[in-house]
Every structure is written in C-alpha cells, then in structure tokens.
Amino acid sequence: MTALFNFQSLILVILLTICTSTYAHYYFPAFIDRNKNNYFMGVFWKCARVGERMSPYIALGLVVMAMMEFWG
C-alpha cells in the first residue's frame, strides 16, 4: 500500500518532507529561496517555512509518529 492511501503514512511523509526541506534550507538557502516561485520547487520552500516557524509542533508530531510506529 502506498503512502497516499494510508493516512498514517501520508502524515509521516509530510512531516519528513517538512524536516528535510528545513534542513536543506539551513545549508543551501540560496537554492531553496531561488526556486520559491517555481511550482514544483516552491512546495519545498513552503515546507521549509512551515518547518522554521512551527518546529516545536513538527518535532512533537514526529515523536508521536515514532511512538505509534514503535507500539502500533
């Protein structure tokens, strides 16, 4: 089953995309900022912004998802 049809996997993919985009923006800010108006790469710019501004909530979501994977 792909991540698109399983809600828990979809949330995990979204959280990991946000974390990866934030990490990439920290090390390569010019690359992410240059492509913010591009349709495909703009998604990563938006994910980086969400990761920067909501990092405690994203971290909490990842911890909850890790616990659900461990016990579920």
C-alpha neighbours within 13 Å on the C-beta side of residue 7: 1
Tens digit of pLDDT for each residue in 7-23?
888 899 999 999 999 99
Handedness of CA 19, 25, 31, 37 (dihedral sign): positive
The residue ranges of every structural domain in the chain are: 7-71
Question: The whole model's pTM is what?
Answer: 0.84
**Per-residue pLDDT tens listing for the chain (72 residues):** 566 688 888 899 999 999 999 999 999 999 889 988 988 889 999 999 999 999 999 999 999 999 988 887
The Cα 38–Cα 30 span in angstroms is 14
Q: Token match 């959280």: residue? A: 15
C-alpha to C-alpha distance for 43 and 53, rounded to whole angstroms? 16
